[in-house]
Chain A
Amino acid sequence: MILLKLTLRSLWNRRMSLFLTILSIAVSVMLLLGVEYIRKEARQSFLSTISGTDMVVGARSGPVQLLLYSVFRIGNATNNISWKSYQEIKKNKWVDWTIPLSLGDSHKGFRVLGTNQDYFKYYRHGDKQLLKFQKGKPFDGVFEAVVGAKVAQKLNYQIGEKIVIAHGSGSTSFTEHKDKPFTVVGILAPTGTPVDRTVHISLEGIEAVHIDWVNGAPISGYKISAEEALKKNLKPEVITAFLVGLENRIATFRLQREINEYTREPLLATVPAIALAELWQTIGNFETILRIITVFVVIAGLLGMLTTLLSTLNERRREMAILRAVGAYPRHVFFLFVLESLILVVLGCLIGMLLLVALVALAKPWVIEHYGLFLNNWLPSSSDLLLIAVISALAIVFSFIPAIIAYRRSLQDGLTVRV
């Protein structure tokens, strides 16, 4: 007890330089835990994009590519698939439900997705959660749209807003389907997935805006108004991809092979979980690199602490000698140092965690604003606590060096006046 008191007093006496030491430990601990946090957040937002879907089917390309363009809305589709093939596979006895996806158009930089009401019924993300509506309802008519949370927020859309779909997927387009505006009828609740950045319309809507387009350009003089378009046959000819839910997941490989060997059209079926795992294994390598870097940062922080302890060793010769003179054993001196570094590192870790909590809380609104990512508040997990325990243990090991030096110094060493 007296040892602890002595340590605290001694620390207080040298508070200025020790404060900086604690700060350097705090910053390195914050960095380490912060990287762990970002890693988990990134993984979560990545893995939560699709759930409960057994298969993604699209034109033949690669499993990862198909998943990227159909679910993550990254990049463009290689080709469309015919409505007929879709209908045929939909009838397969193993298929429970399907969601058609039609991509290729945009609205002010946000992707437009043509689909049907099944999207709101079956599409699941995160832990098998269905999409929820913030306001409004699913689209019903041809010229109705449901926008993601991010779209509504960024463009400040309310229910009833008229929007225009543009051709292509750039942020601006010079060919817009101006004559056929869509009405926003629903705004989805935030999901933290690409759904937030998507404008959803019906497949018939996609057909309607393209009805007076021939050979990739609108024909001048040939205009079909929105009302006229409604009267035309709006049955879609093609879709980009579709999601499949199975009656029984045991049949996964069987249906996959059946689709992959479909003779009338080159199709590709991929199991999202497998493609996600594949993709994550590639991205996961960057995680490891980040982790290695932060481990070195923490070691640098601890080395900083060691330097401070060693440099004060000379200043504290008198202190140690006096302690010895009043009856302290060498082991007391030893523990004085160990205790000191333990206090430093624990304080450092605590301040580091507080810094991280503050930083995440501060960054949250900004990240939502700029990246549409929803950050969870930072709370130490069991693995974080383990990391802190490891850091503390490491600090104690480091403190053995000055402690042993002090231990071995004789009583006279501090009392002899040297010039």
Chain B
Amino acid sequence: MKKQILYTFIFAAFFLNACDSTEQQTKEAPQQKEKIAVGTNIKSLAKKQTSSDKDKTESEVVAQTESKSAKAEYRQISWEDLEIPGKGMDAVLAKFEKEIEAIPEGSLKEKEVLGRLQAELNSAPVNPELDKKKIKLSGFVSPLEIDEKEGVVKEFLLVPYFGACIHVPPPPLNQTLLIKPAKDQRIKLEDAYDPIWVSGVIHAESTVTKLAEAGYKISDVKIEPYTEHLQE
């Protein structure tokens, strides 16, 4: 019976997926074939029921393909790589599965557990192994600060999907990256809705220790428009 609650989350994942794919369709991008694409983490969430450690193998595969094309200076990573294996969304959902099933439906306890689940998703830790690594990641721009003279985005958050998908919780902290591009790398306001590739040095600061510094930041960024094919 209690599976239903878990299903709401899985449903939510599908909704999120829906937001995601409509956006990509407008960019005429059927990118199912590609392993690393915008918002793949969401898909893996949808697939999660089958195997929870699939996450790990997937990132291994990514690492392998990456080492093959070793000429690339920046390692191309996916959004799942930003989570710690075993502490990502999938793992959190799996952890709460039993607890949710154990409590009576519609009770106050249920609300409380779901609240905790949400909190855990929100405070998902950053992956310290990524710190100071040169990476390449694709995503969407959510502007934070605009240069009024040039009409360009001075500071933004890189997120896995476009706009606010209202059906589900916002991306957790480890799925939003703060980026302050240098002057020559800034995106025009008009182009802020297009997906981009970001290459740069990633900095991971734990949520637990420093509130003001928590999360991922990418410095020395190079920004390119998003293309479907892996650029190697």
Contact = CB atoms under 8 A, between A and B. Distances in A.
Interface of A: 40, 43-44, 46-48, 51-52, 54, 93-94, 126-127, 247-254, 256-257, 271, 273-274, 276-277, 280-281, 284
Interface stretch (B4-12, B31-39, B127-135, B142-150): B142-150
Nearest to A247: B212
28 contacts: A43-B148, A43-B151, A44-B149, A47-B146, A47-B151, A51-B146, A54-B144, A93-B211, A127-B147, A248-B211, A250-B157, A250-B215, A252-B157, A253-B159, A271-B142, A271-B144, A273-B143, A273-B144, A273-B145, A273-B146, A273-B156, A274-B142, A276-B143, A277-B146, A277-B189, A280-B151, A284-B189, A284-B190
Q: Which of A127, A253, A254 has most B Cβ within 10 Å? A: A253
B188 to A, nearest CB: 10
Q: Which of A248, A276, A280 has most B Cβ within 10 Å? A: A248
Contacts of A94: 211
Q: Chain B contact residues (Cβ within 8 angstroms of A): what range?
A: 20 to 34
B149 A252 contact: no
Nearest to B163: A274
B176 A253 contact: yes
A248 B212 contact: yes
A250 B178 contact: yes
A281 B212 CA distance: 32
Nearest to B151: A43
Contacts of A254: 122, 170, 172-173
A280 B153 CA distance: 13
Contacts of A274: 142-143
Contacts of B193: 281
A54 B148 CA distance: 16
Interface in B166-185: 169-173, 176-178
B176 A250 contact: yes
Interface string B103-136: 0000000000000000000100000000000000
B178 A249 contact: yes
Interface of B: 122, 142-149, 151, 153, 155-157, 159, 164, 169-173, 176-178, 189-190, 192-193, 211-216
Given A253-B164, A256-B170, A271-B142, 17 more contacts: A44-B148, A47-B148, A51-B145, A51-B148, A248-B213, A249-B178, A250-B173, A250-B178, A250-B216, A252-B176, A253-B171, A254-B170, A273-B143, A273-B153, A276-B146, A277-B143, A280-B189
A281 B171 contact: no
Nearest to B216: A250
Contacts of B151: 40, 43, 47, 280
Given A44-B149, A93-B211, A249 B144 contact: yes
Nearest to B180: A249
B170 A253 contact: yes
Q: Which of B149, B159, B171, B177 has most A Cβ within 10 Å? A: B149
A40 to B, nearest CB: 8
A292 B192 CA distance: 23
A252 B169 CA distance: 13
Contacts of B214: 248, 250-251
B148 A48 contact: yes
Contacts of B190: 281, 284
B145 A52 contact: yes
Contacts of B176: 250, 252-253
Contacts of A247: 211-212
Nearest to A281: B190
B157 A253 contact: yes
Nearest to B166: A260
B148 A127 contact: yes
A358 B62 CA distance: 61
Nearest to A270: B164
Q: Which of B146, B149, B164, B212 has most A Cβ within 10 Å? A: B146
> Which 7 residue pairs are nearest across A and B when measured between Cβ atoms?
A253-B170, A250-B215, A47-B148, A48-B148, A273-B143, A257-B170, A44-B148
A274 B164 CA distance: 11
Contacts of A52: 145
A374 to B, nearest CB: 13
Contacts of A273: 143-146, 153, 156
Contacts of B172: 254
Contacts of B189: 277, 280-281, 284
A106 B151 CA distance: 32
A47 B151 CA distance: 8
A380 B168 CA distance: 49
Nearest to A255: B170
A6 to B, nearest CB: 45
Contacts of A276: 143, 146
B117 to A, nearest CB: 15
A90 to B, nearest CB: 16
B79 to A, nearest CB: 15
A277 B215 CA distance: 25
Contacts of A284: 189-190
Contacts of B147: 47, 127
